[in-house]
Structure 1
Amino acid sequence: MNSAIDYIENNLDGSVSVTEAAKEAFCSSFHFQRMFFAIIGVTPAEYIRRRRLTLAASELAVGNTKVIDVAMKYGYDSPNAFTRAFRNVHGISPREARNSGVKLSAYDRIFFRVEIRGGNEMDYKIIEKPAFEIIGKCKHFTNENFFKEAPAFWKKYVTTEEYQALWSLTNGKWGQVAEAPLMSVYVPDEVGSRDSFKDILGVEKPAKTKAGKFKVLKVPAATYAEFNCSYHTAVKMHKYIYGEWFPSTNYERDESKPDIAAYFPVAFLPTRGMGVRWWIPVINK
């Protein structure tokens, strides 16, 4: 991970590829971005943006370089785009950064280190799941926009007639293989440098059911680490899995398989109280 940061830092004034950074960390782009966010709290793209704007502010404050040249150096094609981004971080325009005594924000370079954190226990199971098919709604997200856009999108979707039609395929019954009434399957979709993935909300496909307007995906057989939590704590649990559990165990993620969140609604309880089981595909190191 430190090699990945070295690569990013050495290329802030040029082209930075998250895929290349992931190669430095010896993992897929999908896994790298999940691990990065779990540990640091921002996506790699957001880290790159903040670091570039930190360096840009330093150059403007102490030098005579033209604003347009600084903007181009740090990846902005137009002065307007650079000014908007600069103002969002520093609260002032690039030209104002030249004034004496102005306050500028600095986002420091990160370093990864091994840290022993007091023996917290977290229960998990290692389970085997045969292959099965999921049928449902498919939406593409990037790792950069997922945490901003996905919750609102799915919250709105579950109020639609299309979702009711999806739910009626099984009427809430558990699938025979997945043993869950509802699931989200996150499938890496390596497309250029956008690092997008498919987020499929659906149910285990009943036999002889036609896809119709829904997406059908075959989920391969896999070994999973299973973690139990609530819908309210699901994101926190996911960060724990990638940020602490993986580094402290003898497992690594099976890059060829998707992460799955299985949902278990409870009658008369709000959504935040719904049970969630994370199924994270693993192999021995």
Structure 2
Amino acid sequence: MDHPRTDAYLRRIGADRPSAPTADALRALHLAHLLAVPFENLSVHLGEEIVLDADALVAKLVDRGRGGFCYELNGAFSALLVALGFEVTPLQARVVGKDGRLGIPYDHMALRVRTAEGTTWLADVGFGTHTHFPLAFDERGEQADPGGVFRIEDANTDGDGDGDADATSVEGAAEGDLLVLLDGEPQYLLEQRPRTLRDFEAGAWYHRTSPASHFTQSLVCSRLTEDGRITLSGHTLTTTVGDDRTVTELPTDTSVLEAYDQHFGIVLDHVPPEPNPTEG
């Protein structure tokens, strides 16, 4: 991105241009992105194409005032960070389901970011409810974050060579893979091999089209707030402030469109159709 385009992106997230690509600057940009740009899968239900091209992703967020899901959000954020002088490497991950099973390859995209100080961080603005700030990539102890207590662990199937799985092993993990945990619960299995945005096209196609994808089965638009989170799913608006949770049913399509605009800055001409839970 050129200088004016980068400035437009920074205005979109309400962030100042950092003087250098430092760890503090990365933390500020990461939080600003989460506060301004929603995690949403509206394109899936509006029949919109999802193009994994940096310029197209930035245009969606900056020009159209939209959000997206992991490939889109982290893809655009990567372009911003590179324009600001950070060294960024996309990484592929497989999400750990509630049953403990791994999702498809290229199920998720996260970012390894190297700063001017030579420190390396795991940045992820595309996983919904997750970290507010980047995680220290090489730290294997607990890392406290407003979103919870996180940990990055080695996930080798047999790290000591004795033929027995280690305590932190994950079925399907390969040598060098890492497991990201939140409050002790596995979130995703992260591969350290560098990837490019185009590598995730099959994963994006799957999540946009497959009846088995949770993105085709649900409709969500969610954004971090200064004191909690706000989420719109269909006609249900959920606001969380600390431990308090308020659920409001929006009675009309007009009220839903107003909520998209008021809470997320998203202007739509019609309400996205809600998925039929009996399908698939």
TM-score (norm 1): 0.27
Higher helix share: 1
Structure with the greater alpha carbon radius of gyration:
1
Query: Structure 2 length normalisation: TM-score?
Result: 0.28
